[in-house]
Structure 1
Amino acid sequence: MSSLERNGGLQKGDSGGDKFRLQLITWNVATSDPPVDISSLLHFDSPKATDFYVIGLQEVYSGPLRFMSDVLFDDPWSYVLMTALAPRRYVKVASIRMQGLLLLLFCKLEHLPFIRDIKTTYTRTGIFGYWGNKGGVSIRLSFYGHMLCFLNCHLAAHMKNAPDRVVEFEHITDKQSFSCEKAERILDHRLVFWFGDLNFRIQDHGMNFVRTCISNQNYSLLWSKDQLILMKQKEKLLQEFEEGLLDFQPTYKFDVNTDTYDSSTKKRKPAWTDRILWRLRPKQTGSKEKHGDRPDGSDVKQLEAEEYPLAIRQDLYTSNMEYSISDHKPVTAIFTLELKKMYTDPLVHLQAEGEWSADMDAMLLYSPLQSFPSSTWDWIGLYRVGFTSVSDYITYTWVKDDEVSINEDAIKVYVSKEEIPVRGGDCMLGYYSNTLQCIIGISEPFKVHESKVVIEEGLLHEKTISLDQIVANEHFHN
């Protein structure tokens, strides 16, 4: 029985704060291109809107030509996901790729200024640690002040290598580090999600018994021989991670484009290779009166945890049998995070001043609402409403280079008319902090008017068409 069941809902107690919905997906896509329709994968038909999407893929095609193309442009999987999510006002906050391992994080636009201190890193473990066909990629961030880390792994394959998989996981968690004072390593984070193609198998049971249990949906008869469950019984680090019940059929290995388990001569035994686990940082022990005395800062973390509680509940843990482009099925977990926000205001307030069009230079105003580490590399981007990612700007202006004036209320920044789109549209402004590696303020949507030149060209075009029609009509009647 998991601690989730023991606590009867939100893990480690109710935080009494705001609730957020997190959807996490892991899928070994076996080098296939994405399906045309991914609405079922993203649970668009759910009555509750998702605040966060975190998508971890393994075995994304990384042939030399494709990989070089993906470095310059968005890879097909990122493109399809952004295209599906952007119209629903989700923005890609961060991503990291190591060969076939890809990790993407999307959030609702309204949360964007409250996701800070974003860092990414990776660790290779496959083929002597050089090629990167196995290993882990991670994204860490602060969400309303709470430190979260997402780790997508692809671990060693084959039945006999269960101990090696644990060693690889321990190596990844020990080796990965971030330039972040509050949470330098993965396990320093308040909440860690560990997921991916972890490659743990079902041992001892024979093929016929396993397939009969699956056919009869008696999954619980297989749990006692699942390698990850077995390894958790003796590995202290694994015991700190929670997992929901494996109450869905094993997700590996299928014949491609079917729901049939491996019918090749190898006839690999079905297994729950694709998993999603989480770890809420254990409470620190010891006196809280000696605030800050410990060199690891554990007393500070304990006091912070008590003042700003965080609770987690898993609402869904399942596979999606609809997709058959890979020999793995995707696995989804949906969580409710309940937390007390450490801050409720963005770092910067932004607004467009006056009327904007490509016919005249424009001005924008920004006001720091809190102190933050500003940099000469900070910039403000002009985005269309419905933009897909932080880098999906129309244009940008350097904050320091283009300052025009400063007063008590706001700082005015110049934007050249040459940078403003001539066809106009509904737009927004976003302040990007180079130090924090994220957008720390967004404006309300505003209208950029179509340029008079475009309007005049349009009228001239209409007149030309009308004249052509008159000439054509006269020619027809004659």
Structure 2
Amino acid sequence: MDENGSSPKNKKFLHKMFMAGKGINNRVGCFSGNSIDSSASPSNHVNNTDNIQSAQLRLCCAVTDVNQSPAVNLSRTPSTLSRNRPLDIPLFQKASIANSINGTTSSTTNGDSESSSKEDANNIKDRSRLRRKVLTQRRSADNLIPTIPPSSPLRYSSPESSHSAPVSKLRSTTSHDTMLYNNSSTISMDSLARQALLAAQVLHLIPTTKARERNYLQGRIAANSLLGATELERVLPNREARIFVGTWNMNGQSPPREINDFVLPSCIDHVPDILAIGTQESCSERFEWEVCLQETIGPSHVMLSSASLGTLHLAIFVRRDLIWFCSICEDASMSVRPGTAFRTKGAVGIAFMLFGTSYLFVTAHLTAHQEKVKERVSDIKRIIRSLDLPKNLPIRHKLKGKKDVTQNFDCVFWFGDLNFRLNEPRAQVLQWIEETSWPLPAHLPHGMLHTDQLKAVLSDGAAFKGFREAQITFPPTYKYDPGSQRFDSSTKQRTPAYTDRILFKCRSATNLLSAARRGSALSSLSSTSVEQKPSLECLIYDSVPSIITSDHKPVWGVFKSHVRPGIDTIPLAAGLFNRDVYLEGIKRRAASLEKARGVSTICSIQ
């Protein structure tokens, strides 16, 4: 053999070795010749090392350079992935590679020192260029979706690295193909790789560097916290939550078979994020009522909390994925008739936080009768002073010298049978109802609200300081003959009135901004965002005339609430909800759907 490795025998062997793929290992798109002619002497083997390495570099660059030659066929079929079979390379590419080998071996025949030094320099450059190509073409979990121009075909660094390409670009294979052409370990690894890549595309991956900075139980870690701005915008992109508030005096009767018109009105497009439903003179079976609500709302929501006092009941349902961002719920109650065994008048309140915004829901049943306005105002003041909320939530903003539970929360909803009446004769009110086209136009004034007792209390400031009510466009909700749409025809001849109401209150923008400045985790809440977006806004306010089981009509409203980031010192509910109510409600919902489709639930024995 020639010293310089340019003998015909050596060249022929290299060419045959490449064409047959014998003794070649594929490593990230590079070919390393591990087979040496056994007939060559050890001295020739040592002398020809540089020449063979140079040929290998040229060969590798010819294969991996995607700009100068077509890519190797990277199909995941067994014939191309097998290491015992030759690579499927086009003929023109083989000729190009063979010419590159010939040119390399012939270029070393001069043997002078100047040519040898130049060749060493070229080898170093080729190695560095090869290393850059290999490293830049590798895929990793940190860069699952590379930026590739639409016009250029996707190329991988090696046939075996196609698993690390984006999932959308991978060739889909059936389980039958995998079982035929892969061993058991390959099957499991391929399945795990696919699942990991799919999870990477869908889930919100957390880098380990950020995971070291996270603490979901203690500390003020701003955007990296579970309740921070990043998580808030991922769950609620507009930083807004839709809240449904409903109230109904059930008159001690069981609810109708369907309450969709009350809980899921047809005029709203989507189920709100939070549903708060308060009842007065509720049915005796509290669990049955909660299951009825869960069955109606469906599996997308869970009952976060509920509380009751005598015949008063309040339930809070939350969108299922939001329970991880809710604090623990705290409840309190107060009866305005402490001496009675059967408590029908008073209030029940539930408080909790969603991210950094605190909410208080209070359902109340105040003193009845037309003339007892002062008693009702006294009831309101006593309830406000007696409800001890919050207990452990870090949201207390007390005013000096005053005890007002409604001042401690960002958003407060007060709803129920407040029993305020219209100061007009019955005949005049009935005539006005008959002559009015319902619902009232929003731009026209209400014909009877100027005599409404609650409106007078709100304007005078005797009670409910800071509370508002949306415009009423529906007819009076009290008092009807049960089972009909007819107003009271009994001997008492009660005057129709708006006894069932929903009031709301939010802390001022100035208070919200000062709270944001006090907490480092809330620093992302700017003054412009507070001033431009109202913290609480009523979108719809209506009644449900179709439900006739009670002498009252249900009243409901949908609100839009601005939600701000929170801090991790808030005691979280850790995803807790009433599982028994959820399972029973979904079970009954499934049974009712099967019944509606005509599917029999009776087992047949053959």
Question: One fold, TM greater than 0.5?
Answer: yes
Out of 16, 23, 26, the position equivalent to 2:247 is 26
Per-residue deviation, 1:117: 3.0
User: Which one of 351, 355, 359 corresponds to residue 144 of structure 1?
Assistant: 355
Distance 1:100 1:267 in 2: 25
Residue matched to 1:460? none
User: 1:142-164: CA deviations, max 9, x gaps?
Assistant: 01110100000000000111121
Determine which structure has greater relative contact order: mean sequence separation of CA pairs < 8 Å that are 6+ residues apart, divided by chain length.
1
How much has 1:279 moved relative to structure 2?
0.5
Equivalence for 1:155:
366
Tell me which residue corresponds to 1:51.
273
1:126, distance to aligned residue in structure 2 (A)? 2.6
Residue type at the aligned position of 2:283: Y
- RMSD of aligned C-alpha atoms? 3.5
1:16–1:339: 8 Å Cα contact kept in structure 2?
no
Deviation at 1:342, TM superposition (A): 3.0
Greater mean deviation of Cα atoms: 128-137 or 114-123: 128-137
Q: Paired residue for 2:312, among 79, 101, 108?
A: 101
Q: 2:436 aligns with which of 209, 217, 235?
A: 217
DSSP-derived class of the 2:251 partner: coil
Shift of 1:241: 0.4
Aligned-partner residue type, residue 201 of structure 1: R
Matched, 1:389 2:601: no
Verify the 8 A CA contact 2:345 2:365 in the aligned structure 1.
yes
Alpha carbons of 1:303 and 1:98: their partners in 2 closer, same or farther (altered >3 Å)?
A: farther
Contact (CA 8 Å) 1:17, 1:341: kept in 2 or not? Answer: no
* Distance in 1 separating the partners of 2:480 and 2:504: 27
Q: Indicate whether 1:173 and 2:384 are aligned.
A: yes
Q: Cα–Cα, structure 1 residues 158 and 340, in superposed 2: closer, same or farther, change >3 Å?
A: same
Identify if the C-alpha distance between structure 1 residues 97 and 373 changes in structure 2 by more than 3 Å, giving closer, same or farther.
closer
- 2:460 pairs, out of 230, 234, 239, with 234
Higher strand share: 1
More helix by share: 2
Relative to structure 2, which stretch is displaced further, 156-165 or 176-185?
176-185
Secondary structure at 1:258 match in 2: coil
Shifted more, 43-52 versus 168-177: the winner is 43-52
Contact 2:291 2:581 in 1 (8 A): no
Aligned to 2:499: 273
Letter in 2 for 1:80: C
**Helix, strand or coil at the partner of 2:553:** coil
Q: Distance in 1 between matches of 2:382 and 2:550?
A: 28
Matches within 5 A, 1:330-341: 330-341=554-565
Asked if the contact 1:16–1:338 (Cα under 8 Å) also holds between the matched residues in 2, the reply is: no
Give 3-state SS (helix, strand or coil) of 2:566's partner: coil
* Displacement of 1:23: 1.1
Cα pair 2:245 2:277 within 8 Å, conserved: yes
CA pair 153-306 structure 1, distance change in 2 beyond 3 A: farther
| Alpha carbons 1:200, 1:272 under 8 Å: kept | yes
Deviation (angstroms), 1:282: 3.1
1:311 is aligned to 535
Mapped contact 2:251–2:282 kept (Cα < 8 A) = yes
Equivalent residues of 1:124, 1:131 under 8 A apart: no
- Matched to 2:557, the amino acid is A
Is the 1:190–1:281 Cα contact (8 Å) retained in structure 2? yes
- Equivalent positions of 1:29-428 (< 5 A) are 29-43=250-264, 45=266, 46-62=268-284, 70=286, 74=287, 76-87=288-299, 89-126=300-337, 128=339, 131-178=342-389, 179-184=391-396, 185-203=405-423, 205-217=424-436, 220-235=446-461, 237-282=463-508, 309=530, 311-342=535-566, 389-390=578-579
Q: How many residues align?
A: 329
Larger radius of gyration: 2
Residue 100 of structure 1: CA displacement? 0.5
Residue pair 2:291, 2:582 contacting (<8 A) in 1 also: no
C-alpha deviation, 1:341, in angstroms? 3.2
Amino acid at match of 2:505: R
Residues 327 and 571 in structure 2, CA contact (< 8 A), matched pair in contact too: no
Letter in 1 for 2:555: V
C-alpha distance in 2 between matches for 1:36 and 1:274: 22
Q: Distance in 1 between matches of 2:414 and 2:344?
A: 18
Segments of 5+ residues of structure 1 without an aligned counterpart are 1-14, 344-369, 382-387, 395-464, 470-478
Residues 149-188 of structure 1, C-alpha deviations (whole Å, 9 max, x = no match)? 0000000000111121111111101111131353453321
Question: Among the aligned pairs, what percent are the same residue?
Answer: 26
Q: 1:183 to 1:132 in 2, by over 3 A?
A: farther
SS at match of 1:79: helix
- Rounded to whole Å, the distance in 1 between the matches of 2:509 and 2:523 is 7
CA displacement at 1:19 relative to structure 2:
2.3
Find the aligned partners of 1:77 and 1:263 in 2 and give their Cα distance: 29
